[in-house]
Amino acid sequence: MKGMWQTLGLTLLLSLLGFGFLFLTGQRFNPAEFAASTRLEPLFLMLLLPTLIGWWVVSAWRIQILAASKEVTLSRAVRSLLLFLFGATVTPGGTGSNVALAWYLSQYTSPKRATAVAVFGLTFDLVYYAWSMPVCFAILHFKGIDLQMPFLGPILGIIVGLGSLISIGFAYALAFQLPRLERLLFALFSMRWLLRFRRGALRFIQETGHAMAEIRQFPVATQLGLHGITALSFVLHFAAGNVLAAAMGLNVDHVALLAMQSLLVAISFVIPSPGGAGYFEAVLGRSSPAVGIPEAAVFPFVTLWRFLSYFLYVFIGPFIGAPAILAASQRSQAAREIDPPSTPRGNEA
User: What is the mean pLDDT of the segment spanning 99-113?
Assistant: 86
Contacts of 89 (CB under 8 A, 6+ apart): 11, 274, 275, 310, 311, 313, 314, 317
Indicate the average pLDDT of the chain.
80
Which of the residue ranges 155-159, 193-197, 310-314 has the most confident prediction, judged by mean pLDDT?
310-314
- Per-residue pLDDT band for 345 (boundaries 50, 70, 90) equals very low
| Pairwise pLDDT comparison (207 vs 223), residue with the higher score | 223
71 pLDDT higher than 80: yes
- Per-residue pLDDT band for 344 (boundaries 50, 70, 90) equals very low
Q: Cβ–Cβ contacts within 10 Å for residue 318, how many? A: 14
125 pLDDT higher than 70: yes
52 pLDDT higher than 90: yes
Q: Cβ–Cβ contacts within 10 Å for residue 331, how many? A: 11
The pLDDT of residue 184 is 78
The pLDDT of residue 185 is 72
The pLDDT of residue 304 is 92
Which helix (H) or strand (E) covers residue 192, if one does? none
The pLDDT of residue 316 is 86
The pLDDT of residue 62 is 95
173/179 Cα distance (integer angstroms):
9
339 pLDDT higher than 60: no
233 pLDDT higher than 80: yes
320 pLDDT higher than 50: yes
| Pairwise pLDDT comparison (231 vs 202), residue with the higher score | 231
The pLDDT of residue 349 is 37
Q: Cβ–Cβ contacts within 10 Å for residue 297, how many? A: 23
Taking CA atoms, 324 is separated from 251, 252, 275, 317, 320, in Å, by 43, 41, 23, 11, 7
333 pLDDT higher than 60: no
311 pLDDT higher than 70: yes
1 pLDDT higher than 80: no
- pTM comes to 0.81
- Per-residue pLDDT band for 232 (boundaries 50, 70, 90) equals very high
The pLDDT of residue 347 is 47
212 pLDDT higher than 70: no
The pLDDT of residue 211 is 67
58/235 Cα distance (integer angstroms):
11
User: What is the mean pLDDT of the segment spanning 1-21?
Assistant: 76
The pLDDT of residue 348 is 44
The pLDDT of residue 246 is 92
The pLDDT of residue 11 is 79
User: What is the mean pLDDT of the segment spanning 285-308?
Assistant: 89
The pLDDT of residue 325 is 62
133 pLDDT higher than 80: yes
User: What is the mean pLDDT of the segment spanning 160-165?
Assistant: 78
- Going by C-alpha positions, the residue among 80, 132, 69 that lies closest to residue 105 is 80
Lowest mean pLDDT among 218-227, 281-290, 340-349: 340-349
The separation between the first and the last C-alpha atoms of the chain, rounded to the nearest angstrom, is 43
